[in-house]
């Protein structure tokens, strides 16, 4: 049973090719003074917010007027750097969603005999506006955070009032390009008047691509629920709700790794350590297999990819043999039964002969 490849949009592939060239160059020895001078930028975080960020930096415990939890980060290659995406849960009620006032609806008129009585309709749209501040700190060899960069991200959302659940925690994301290194992010979300503040911390590491000269490895493997192409790459840092963006892609991730009958395992990752051939083409063979314990449940035919950026849907269909009485044996495709499984991704670079293996656990309900 063969899995059908997704063709990653041309613009994304172009970004990746540029990124790999730039990242290779970035692994060379840099002039520290020049890099530090480049990082000298304006201050973007108000002093009262920065004081609260610094207050909890050592213990990684911040003020939680607005409860926010950064539960995961992903990184993918971008021009000269990596695009690092931070995923967090925030309760809707904490962000102050209220009826939108920018375009008030005209009241309907209810006829009652000779008189007409205006009837005010309930708001159809809710709106929230707030500030997001990012403070990136690099961790030195002793693990001490050193200020690296500050970013201000204005955020505003409008959502339909129908079906809105103020008690629900929704997914929010923000991405930013960074060179490889060991970091500690301090993130603050505040009301517009800076009176209500939530602070969260997230430590993360972006590997040096030059270390993958003898073996293949990947960026964090994640599953995709939905992926759409935008008209162009975002030109500024944007705080997103329900999705994250990468290059021209808008991605809804499956972060709990839970699937249902009929779903695909749609995997997305980038491969480190692959080398182009003499024609500057990649030849990466990948074998995907699903195991339940030690028993193989699904195995797809190996395929060769010409890009280290992989977006691959894998149908969860088993081919089973069925024989009833004297009837001839036949085969039938069935959905993968409910249970806990492990996806095994075996990598082979046909140019360098380097190999690698990644595994991801998932559940079928």
Q: Which residues contact 180 (CB under 8 A, 6 or more apart)?
A: 23, 26, 82, 206, 207, 208, 209
Structural domains counted in the chain: 2
Report CA 119 to chain centroid distance, whole Å: 45
157 forms bridges with which residues in the sheet? 128
Query: What tokens appear for 213 in the block?
Result: 């000269």
- The mean-pLDDT minimum among 90-99, 166-175, 194-203, 314-323 falls in 314-323
Q: Classify residue 7: in a domain, yes or no.
A: no
Is 295 domain-assigned? yes
Q: What range does the domain containing 242 cover? A: 215-365
Q: Please say which residue of 188, 207, 226 terminates a domain.
A: 207
For residue 151, the Cα-to-chain-centroid distance in whole angstroms is 19
Does residue 237 share a domain with residue 200? no
Secondary structure of the chain in HEC code, one letter for each residue: CCCCCCCCCHHHHHHHHHHHHHHHHHCCCCCHHHHHHHCCCCCCCCHHHHHHHHHCCCCCCCCECCCEEEEEEEEEEECCEEEEEEEEEEEHHHHCCEECCCCCCCCEEEEECCEEEEECCCCCEEEEEEEEEEEEEEECCCCCEEEEEEEEEEEEEEEECCCCCCCCEEEEEEEEEECCEEEEEEEEEECCCCCCEEEEEEEEEECCHHHCCCCCEECCCEEEEEEEECCCCCCCCCEEECCEEECCEEEEEECCCEECCCCEEEEEEEEECCCCCCCCCCCEEEEEEEEECCEEEEECCCEEECCCEEEEEEECEEEEEECCCCCCCEEEEEECCCEEEEEEEEEEECCCCCEEEEEEEEEEC
C-alpha angle with apex 108: 107 to 109, nearest 5 degrees?
120
What per-residue confidence (pLDDT) applies to 39?
47
Would residue 236 count as lying in a domain? yes
Both 143 and 56 in one domain: the answer is yes
Q: Does 116 reside within a domain?
A: no
What confidence score (pLDDT) does residue 111 get?
53
Residue 19 has pLDDT above 70, yes or no: no
Instruction: Say yes or no: 226 and 337 in one domain.
Output: yes
Q: 130 vs 109, which has greater pLDDT?
A: 130
pLDDT score of 10 more than 80: no
Residue-wise pLDDT for 167-225, tens only, equals 999 999 999 999 999 999 999 999 999 999 999 999 999 999 999 999 999 999 999 99
Residue 71: predicted pLDDT: 96
Q: In this structure, are 329 and 186 located in the same domain?
A: no
**Residues 273 and 148 both lie in one domain:** no
Q: What number of residues does the chain have?
A: 365
**How many CA atoms within 13 Å lie on the side-chain side of 266?**
16
Please indicate, yes or no, whether residues 171 and 228 belong to a single structural domain of this protein.
Answer: no
Distance CA 281, CA 271 (A): 14
Beta bridge partners of 357: 346
Is the domain of 49 the same as that of 193?
yes
* Residue 107 belongs to a domain: no
Q: Could you tell me if 143 and 167 lie in one domain?
A: yes
Do 308 and 359 lie in one domain? The reply is yes
Q: Is the pTM of this model over 0.75?
A: yes
**Looking at the domain assignment, is residue 141 inside a domain?**
yes
Q: What does the pLDDT read at residue 112?
A: 54
Are 192 and 256 found together in one domain? no
CATH number at residue 83: 2.60.40
Enter the tokens of residue 162. 């129908």
Radius of gyration of the chain (CA): 25
Of 207, 226, 248, the residue at which a domain comes to its end is 207
Residue after which a domain boundary falls, among 207, 229, 254? 207
Same-domain check for residues 183 and 239: no
Q: How confident is the model at residue 12 (pLDDT cuts 50, 70, 90)?
A: low
Residue 9 domain-assigned (yes or no): no
In this prediction, residue 319 carries a pLDDT of: 80
- 11 within a domain of the structure (yes/no): no
Query: Residue 60 pLDDT > 80, yes or no?
Result: yes
Is the same domain home to 150 and 53?
yes
């Amino acid at each position: 049973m063969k899995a059908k490849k997704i063709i990653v949009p041309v613009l994304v592939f172009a970004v990746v090719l540029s990124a790999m060239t730039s990242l290779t160059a970035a692994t060379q020895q840099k002039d520290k003074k020049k890099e530090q001078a480049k990082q000298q930028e304006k201050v973007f975080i108000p002093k009262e917010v920065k004081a609260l960020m610094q207050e909890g930096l050592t213990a990684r415990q911040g003020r939680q007027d607005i409860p926010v939890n950064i539960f995961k980060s992903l990184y993918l290659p971008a021009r000269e750097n990596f695009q690092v995406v931070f995923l967090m849960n925030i309760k809707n009620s904490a962000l102050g969603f209220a009826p939108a006032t920018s375009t008030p609806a005209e009241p309907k008129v209810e006829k009652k005999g000779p008189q007409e009585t205006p009837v005010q309709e309930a708001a159809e749209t809710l709106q929230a506006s707030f500030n997001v501040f990012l403070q990136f700190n690099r961790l030195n060899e002793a693990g001490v955070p050193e200020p690296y960069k500050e970013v201000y991200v204005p955020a505003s959302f409008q959502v339909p009032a129908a079906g809105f659940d103020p008690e629900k925690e929704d997914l929010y994301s923000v991405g930013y390009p960074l060179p490889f290194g060991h970091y500690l992010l301090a993130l603050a979300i505040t009301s517009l008047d800076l009176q209500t503040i939530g602070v969260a911390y997230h430590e993360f590491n972006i590997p040096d691509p030059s270390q993958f000269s003898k073996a293949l490895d990947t960026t964090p493997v994640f599953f995709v629920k939905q992926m759409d192409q935008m008209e162009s790459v975002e030109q500024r840092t944007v705080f997103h709700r329900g999705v994250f963006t990468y290059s021209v892609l808008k991605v809804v991730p499956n972060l709990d790794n839970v699937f249902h009958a009929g779903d695909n395992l749609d995997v997305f990752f980038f491969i480190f350590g692959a080398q182009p051939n003499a024609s500057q083409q990649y030849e990466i063979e990948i074998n995907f297999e699903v195991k339940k314990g030690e028993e193989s449940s699904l195995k797809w035919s190996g395929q060769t990819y010409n890009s280290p950026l992989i977006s691959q849907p894998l149908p969860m269909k088993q081919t089973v043999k069925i024989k009833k009485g004297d009837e001839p044996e036949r085969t039938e495709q069935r959905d993968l039964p409910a249970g806990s499984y492990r996806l095994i991704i075996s990598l082979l670079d046909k140019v360098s002969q380097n190999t690698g293996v990644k595994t991801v656990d998932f559940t079928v309900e």
